Chain A
Amino acid sequence: MRKFKSLARPYFVWMLTLVALPLVVMVVLSFMKTNGVKFEGAYVTLENFTRLASPSVLVGFYNSMKFALIATVLSFLIGYPIAYIISKSNIRNKFLVLAAIILPMWSNKLLRVVAIGYALSEYNVLRSFMNTIGIDFMINLKGTDLAIVIGLVSSYLPFMILPIYTVLEKIDPLLLEASKDLGANGFWTFWKVVFPISLKGVATGVIMVFLPSATGFAVPYVLGNGNYVLIGTVIEDSFKIGMDYNFGSLLSLILIVVIFGALFLVSKVDKEGETLL
C-alpha cells in the first residue's frame, strides 16, 4: 500500500496554499497601508500596531475573553456530567442519545441564535403558544450579558459533550475493576482513574467551545442587539465595512497566534487528533 503515499502529496500543496500563504499575505498587509489587496500607492507603516491600543479593540478583546471563558466553564460543568451519565447509562442504543445531542446542530446555526433571541424576548411565539394552554412566563433577557452566555452555551455545548463522551466510552472497564480491587471507592476511582484519562477529551472540548465563542460575531450581534463590541465584530467591520484589510489582518494574526498556541497544547495531549470528532 505504500505506493499510495502520493495521494497525500497534493493535499500538502492545497493546504499550504490555503493555510500558509494567507499567513504570509497577512503578515505583509499588517505592516502596510494598502487599498484592499491593491498595492498601488501602498506604503510600509506601523500605524496598525498603534491602533491596537484603541478602546474598541481593548473592549473587544476583554468582552471576547469574558464571554468565552464563562461559556466554556459553564459548558464544561454541564457537559462533563452529561457525557458521564450517557457513558454510564445502560441504554442499549447509545447512538440515539448521541443523535439527540447532535440533532440541534442540523438546524441552521444563525437561525438557532435568532430563535433563542425570540425565546428570550418579552413577546414570542413560545410564550404565546404556552398561553393558549394556560401557562404564562415572562423572560426578558435579550440584549443582556446573560442572553449572550445562554446563546453561546446552547450553540456549543455539543462540542463539549461529544469529545468527553468519546474518551469516557473508550476507558477499559478492567481499569475500573482494578482500582476497585485495590481499595478505591467510587469517588477515588473517578478522581484518580477516570478523570485523568478523560482530560484529553476535556482539552478538545474546551478548545472547541472556547475558540468559536471567543471569535464568533453572530451570537453577540443577534443576542446583544448589536450593542456589544467583540474581537470578531472588530475584524468583521474592518474587512466588510471599513475595507481596512491591514488592521483586520493584524487582528487575525493575533488570533492565529493564540489559536496555534492552543492547537500546540492539544497536540501535546492528543497526538493523532483522535478526540477531535
Chain B
Amino acid sequence: MFTKLLDALFDTPNKAKVMGVLSSLFKLFFVVFVVIILYLPIFVIALQSFNDSRTVFNFGGLTLKWYEALFFAQSAHHNTEVVITIQNTLRVTFISTILSTILGTFVAIGAHVLDKKRRQQLILLNNVPILNAEIVTGMSLMLIFSLMLPVIPMFFGFWTMLIAHVFFSIPYVVLSVLPKLKEIDVNLYDAAVDLGCTPFKAILKVIIPSIQAGIFAGMLLAFTMSIDDFVISYFTTGNGFENISTWMYGVIGKRSLSPVVYAYNTLLTIITLSVLLLINLKGSKRQKPEWLKSKSYR
C-alpha cells in the first residue's frame, strides 16, 4: 500500500494528480486549524451560555435560563448589574455608530474634494486613531477630558465614553467611504445641479446613494469597534459608568462571570451575523452585471 503510494508519487503522469490531492488535503487541514484558532473562544462562549451549571469548569446539561435572565427581571438568575452594563454598552454604541456614520460620510465628501496634499494630511490624521495603540488613544482622551474637568465637573461617564467612541469610529467610516467616492462619476453631481438640485440636495439624492455600500461598510465597522471596545472605554469612563467590557475587567479574577454575559454575547453575535446574511442575500439579487458598473465605461 505504502510502496504503491510512493511509486505513484514518483511516477510522472500520476505525480501531478497525487500532488494535487496532497495539496488539497493540506489546504483542508490548514483551514480547519485556522478555524479552530479563531473559533475556540466562540465555542466556549456559546457552550457556556447554554450551560446549566453556573461555573465554567464543568458542563451540566443544556438550558436557556441565562437567556431568560437576560430579558426577564422576574427570572431567578436575573442580574441587574449585568443588565445595566449591557444597556449602557448598547446606548453608547448605537448613538456613536449613528453619529459617526453621518459625520464620517460628510468628512469623507469634504476630504474627497480637497486638493491632494491636504487630503493626504487628512488621511494621515485620520489614520492615527486606527493605527495608534488603544492605550495611547485612551489616555490622550483622558488627559483632554481631565483638563476640562474644572469647566465641566463630573464629566467622566456616559458623555466622555460617547465622545471617545465617536472619535475612534469616524476614521473607519471615512476610510470606507473615500474609495467609493473615487469610483463615482464627477459629472453625476454636476448633472444634478444643472437639473435644478441645490448642492446639498444633490449630495443627498445623487452622491449618498452611489456611495451607500461604503457608508454601510463604515457603519458596520464603527459598530464592531464600539460594541466591544475595552481599552479606550476603560480610560475614558468614570463616576461608576461601566460598559460590559470595563465591568468585566473589574470582575475578572475576583468572582466568576455570570453566564448571562455569555448569553448576551452569543445573542449579539447571532444577530450581527443574521443582519449581514440578510443584506448579502438582498445585495446579491439586485447585483448589476459587470459592464453596467460605472468603472468600466468611464
Q: How far is the CA of A93 from the CA of B245 in the complex (A)?
A: 33
A1-19 CB mask vs B (1 if < 8 Å, else 0) is 1111111110110111111
- Is there an interface contact between B37 and A157, defined as CB atoms closer than 8 Å? yes
Question: B75 near A: Cβ within 8 Å?
Answer: no
Residue tally, chain B, CB below 8 Å to A: 97
| Minimum Cβ distance to chain A for residue B211 (Å) | 13
Q: Which residues of B contact A19 (CB under 8 A)?
A: 125, 128-129, 140
Evaluate whether A128 and B59 lie within 8 angstroms (CB atoms) in the complex, with A108-B245, A248-B139 already known: yes
Question: A132 near B: Cβ within 8 Å?
Answer: yes
Question: B1 near A: Cβ within 8 Å?
Answer: no
Q: Which residues of A contact B269 (CB under 8 A)?
A: 103, 106-107
- Is there an interface contact between A22 and B140, defined as CB atoms closer than 8 Å? yes
Evaluate whether A8 and B131 lie within 8 angstroms (CB atoms) in the complex, with A82-B30, A123-B58 already known: no
**Complex interface residues of chain A between 45 and 79 (CB less than 8 A to chain B):** 78
- Is there an interface contact between B57 and A123, defined as CB atoms closer than 8 Å? yes
- Is there an interface contact between A109 and B245, defined as CB atoms closer than 8 Å? yes
Question: B69 near A: Cβ within 8 Å?
Answer: no
- Is there an interface contact between B125 and A15, defined as CB atoms closer than 8 Å? yes
Q: Which of A111, A157, A158 has the most CB of B within 10 A?
A: A111
B29-69 CB mask vs A (1 if < 8 Å, else 0) is 01101110111111111011001010011110000000000
Q: Which residues of A contact B126 (CB under 8 A)?
A: 11, 15, 273
A185-212 CB mask vs B (1 if < 8 Å, else 0) is 0000000000000000000000110011
Evaluate whether A252 and B135 lie within 8 angstroms (CB atoms) in the complex, with A111-B261, A125-B56 already known: yes
- Is there an interface contact between A115 and B179, defined as CB atoms closer than 8 Å? no
| Minimum Cβ distance to chain A for residue B56 (Å) | 5
Which residue of chain A has the shortest Cβ distance to B245 in the bound complex? Answer: A110
Which residue of chain B has the shortest Cβ distance to A218 in the bound complex? Answer: B230
Q: How far is the CA of A124 from the CA of B30 in the complex (A)?
A: 26
Residue tally, chain A, CB below 8 Å to B: 100
Evaluate whether A104 and B39 lie within 8 angstroms (CB atoms) in the complex, with A37-B143, A126-B44, A226-B253 already known: yes
- Is there an interface contact between A4 and B38, defined as CB atoms closer than 8 Å? no
Which residue of chain A has the shortest Cβ distance to B217 in the bound complex? Answer: A277
- Is there an interface contact between A4 and B203, defined as CB atoms closer than 8 Å? yes
- Is there an interface contact between A158 and B38, defined as CB atoms closer than 8 Å? yes
| Minimum Cβ distance to chain B for residue A192 (Å) | 21
Q: Which residues of A contact B39 (CB under 8 A)?
A: 104
Q: Which residues of A contact B125 (CB under 8 A)?
A: 12, 15-16, 19
- Is there an interface contact between B228 and A239, defined as CB atoms closer than 8 Å? no
- Is there an interface contact between A108 and B265, defined as CB atoms closer than 8 Å? yes
Q: Which of A5, A214, A216 has the most CB of B within 10 A?
A: A5
- Is there an interface contact between B140 and A153, defined as CB atoms closer than 8 Å? no
- Is there an interface contact between B42 and A110, defined as CB atoms closer than 8 Å? no
Question: A42 near B: Cβ within 8 Å?
Answer: no
- Is there an interface contact between A277 and B133, defined as CB atoms closer than 8 Å? no
**Complex interface residues of chain B between 157 and 203 (CB less than 8 A to chain A):** 167, 170, 172, 175-176, 178-179, 186, 189-190, 199, 203
Instruction: Tell me what chain A mostly uses at the interface: helix, strand, loop, or mixed.
Output: helix
Question: Which of B3-11, B110-118, B289-297 lines the interface with chain A?
Answer: B110-118
Which residue of chain B has the shortest Cβ distance to A129 in the bound complex? Answer: B59
- Is there an interface contact between A11 and B107, defined as CB atoms closer than 8 Å? yes
- Is there an interface contact between A239 and B142, defined as CB atoms closer than 8 Å? yes
| Minimum Cβ distance to chain B for residue A6 (Å) | 7
- Is there an interface contact between B280 and A96, defined as CB atoms closer than 8 Å? yes
- Is there an interface contact between B131 and A114, defined as CB atoms closer than 8 Å? no
Question: B208 near A: Cβ within 8 Å?
Answer: no
Question: A236 near B: Cβ within 8 Å?
Answer: yes
- Is there an interface contact between A245 and B127, defined as CB atoms closer than 8 Å? no
- Is there an interface contact between B248 and A259, defined as CB atoms closer than 8 Å? no
A116-149 CB mask vs B (1 if < 8 Å, else 0) is 1011010111101101100000000000000000
Evaluate whether A115 and B45 lie within 8 angstroms (CB atoms) in the complex, with A4-B109, A22-B140, A101-B38 already known: yes
Q: Which residues of A contact B (CB under 8 A)?
A: 1-9, 11-12, 14-19, 21-23, 25-26, 29, 36-37, 78, 81-82, 85, 93, 95-96, 99-116, 118-119, 121, 123-126, 128-129, 131-132, 150, 153-154, 157-158, 207-208, 211-212, 214-218, 221-222, 226, 232, 235-236, 239-240, 245, 248-249, 252, 255-256, 259, 262-263, 266-267, 271-274, 276-277
Q: 13 extra interchain contacts, Cβ-Cβ under 8 A, other than A110-B252, A115-B48? A: A9-B110, A18-B144, A18-B167, A22-B144, A26-B143, A109-B230, A111-B248, A125-B53, A154-B38, A217-B135, A245-B143, A256-B136, A263-B124
